[in-house]
Chains A and B, each alone.
Chain A
Amino acid sequence: MPEPMGFYTDTTVCIGCKACEVACKEWNQLPSTNGGVNTLSGDSYDNTRKLDGIHWRHVKFIEQFTESRKDGRWLLMSDVCKHCVHAACLEVCPTGAITRTEFDTVVIQSDACNGCRDCISACPFGVIDINPASGVAQKCTLCYDRLQVGMEPACSKACPTDSIQFGTIRELRETANQRVAKLHETGEKRAYLYGADEKMLGGLNSFYLLVDKPEVYGLPPDPKMPSRNLASSSWFSVLGAVLVGLMGMINFRNRGAVRSEEETQP
């Protein structure tokens, strides 16, 4: 059994080249947006816009500038499926199409998915969407086919700055912690790891080094499992059913009793 594998993305060295996006699209043969007739988003250099069924990598461009634009910084981040240890999509999938692989990654089996879209609403990161070409939900597989033959995922292989690093989770966490310590030493005290430990959904097998709040990068500060509501919601539903049942019994039985009394009176 191989060790859990994943990505560590150091956003401080991302240059926004989108090589990861291109490598992902090429390797996974994902179709272009609108048949290649894409329009500009007007949102910085981001014309991919979001992760979806045909974009399994998405480089985010966050501009933090003063009004005069004399001072400021770029935040760049290559986003991808987090391959959560406790995966919300896998939890709710009613067809069993979403599975955990021997590498501890999360994969949607396209031949089993029927496009119910429950996983889309369950994912706290907004990663999954329908691929219009196949009609089923799709997302990053962490290049499961490449992993099976000992190859590195296409995106991390293509990354020219090692912003995206691939390896065992144990090694990646060591590397990431050393990098955070080094950044703190050099004065970048805002650096921290997002999703590297078990506190967040049991650990994200694709975790990040960030230098601002998660929501600035479009990441939820406190992602949760959908099943947190299952028990409470079910019990309230039972309460509703009991109350309606009682109302029915009182109305129908009571009137029946009144009527029998009327009938028995001389």
Chain B
Amino acid sequence: MNGVPSSTFFSASPDWGWLITLYFFFGGLAGGSYFLASLIDLFGRPEDRPLSHLGYYIPFPCITISGLLLTVDLGRPERFWHMLIESNTYRPMFKYWSPMSIGSWAVMIFGIFAFVSFLGALADAERIPWSAWRKVHPPSLLGRCIAVMGGIFGFYVAGYTGVLLAVTNRPIWSDTPLLGMLFIVSAASTSAALMILLAQKSRWTMPGILDLHRMDAWVIALEFIVLIALMISLGPVFRAWLNAWGLLLLFGVIVVGMLVPLALSWRTQWLGDWNMKTTAVLVLLGGFLLRLVIVFSAQGV
């Protein structure tokens, strides 16, 4: 193909930069934290409830930041509502085959779930005096329904961004079907890391933290496998990573963000009290660098 490994190399870059990278990171944290909080609520122990509360405190500010980042990134931010309402007819704008269209609705709907659960968790933890809001928090039936629905929307928000990149014609992004899966798994690992970090900062000692830490190690291992599979699936397009971005992916994402945390999870005595905190920080750093490499490397081609 005249030295070009794929027809995707003839498309143009959309110039999605730092704002979109940050959105992918915060959106992943929002969706992943909600999903983990609902998992802890539905399958964890009663003494782990403060951990699930923590999981519900993260999504609302993160999804609010995400919405702002997405709006500011538009060429015409005052027209952000065109994503949801057709500007000529004022009818709902929804294209189920366009990930950005469904994603816009998902971000809005998940934002409502995040807000409701945020207040529910605050009420359940008796941090606000509105006891009526406890009804929207598990273990009530309504609370469980909200947790399940919010968890599904949360994971959708965490993963649709990868599908969105795949449904383009840019090199790397559209040369693999695994970006959505990678973003979902990475959202889970970074969210677990953030929850562990915040719980450690509050000096909590509930057993759920150890469960979360162990689960995070499993998820990081899965993330590593998915990333390797993604690299293989790129085929000849992989050569687009034979540059500085590839080095950042190798050392920043794979070594620092995955292999070192896995080693620290395996050898818990290495850093003593700092083991869990260090692991969490490295996973968060790796998750951010992953999105940075994915977003920027495909645009420089």
Chain A interfacial positions (CB closer than 8 Å to B):
50, 52, 88, 91-97, 109, 111-118, 120-130, 134-137, 213, 215-216, 218-224, 226-227, 229-230, 232-234, 236-237, 239-241, 243-245, 247-249, 251-253, 255-256, 259
Residues of B within 8 A of A243 (CB): 185, 222
The 8 Å CB contact of A117, one of B14, B48, B159, is B14
| A114 in contact with B82 (CB, 8 Å) | yes
* Contact B169–A223 (Cβ < 8 Å): yes
User: When chains A and B are docked, how far (Å) is the Cα of A251 from the Cα of B265?
Assistant: 15
Indicate if B202 sits at the interface (CB-CB under 8 A).
no
* Distance A55 CA – B155 CA, assembled complex (angstroms): 41
* B10 and A92 form a contact (CB under 8 A): no
**Contacts from B to A (Cβ < 8 Å):** 1-2, 4, 7-16, 35-36, 39-40, 43-45, 48, 74-77, 79-80, 82-83, 86-88, 93, 95, 97-101, 104, 155, 159-160, 162-164, 166-170, 173-174, 177-185, 188, 207-208, 210-212, 214-215, 218-219, 222, 226
> CB within 8 A of B211: which of A221, A222, A224, A251?
A251
Contact, CB under 8 Å: B4 / A226: no
Taking CB atoms, residues of chain A closer than 8 Å to B76 are 113-115, 135-136
**Can you report 12 residue pairs joining A to B where beta carbons are below 8 Å apart?**
A50-B12, A95-B93, A121-B11, A121-B16, A220-B9, A233-B162, A240-B159, A240-B222, A243-B185, A245-B39, A247-B222, A252-B208
The verdict on A94 contacting B169 (CB below 8 Å), with A124-B8, A126-B10 known, is no
In the docked arrangement, what's the CA distance between A160 and B2, Å?
A: 32
Is there contact, CB below 8 Å, between A226 and B167? Answer: yes
Which residue of chain B has the shortest Cβ distance to A213 in the bound complex? Answer: B2
Interchain CB contact under 8 A, A94 and B184: no
Q: How far is A35 from B293 in the complex, measured between Cα atoms in Å? A: 34
**Does A94 contact B100, Cβ atoms closer than 8 Å?**
yes
Given contacts A93-B98, A95-B82, A259-B45, contact A247 B218 (CB under 8 A): yes
Contacts of B168 in A (CB 8 A): 92, 118, 121-122, 226
CA distance A50 to B40 in the complex (A): 53
- Provide the bound-state CA to CA distance between A239 and B167, in Å: 18
B83 touches A116 (CB 8 A): yes
Interface pair A94/B95, CB less than 8 Å apart: yes
- Please report the C-alpha to C-alpha distance between residue A240 and residue B155 in the assembled complex, in whole angstroms: 10
Using A114-B79, A115-B74, A255-B211 as known contacts, say yes or no to A94 and B44 having CB atoms under 8 A apart.
no
> Which 9 pairs across A and B sit closest by C-beta, in order of nearness?
A115-B75, A237-B180, A114-B79, A126-B12, A240-B181, A220-B7, A135-B75, A232-B177, A117-B14
Q: B7 touches which one: A91, A223, A234 (CB < 8 A)?
A: A223
Expressed in whole angstroms, the Cα–Cα distance for A223 and B43 within the complex equals 48
A233 touches B75 (CB 8 A): no
CB <8 Å contact, A94 and B93: yes
A227 and B167 contact, Cβ closer than 8 Å, known pairs A117-B15, A252-B208: yes
Cβ-closest chain A residue relative to B11: A126
Bound together, the chains give a CA A245 to CA B36 distance in angstroms of 9
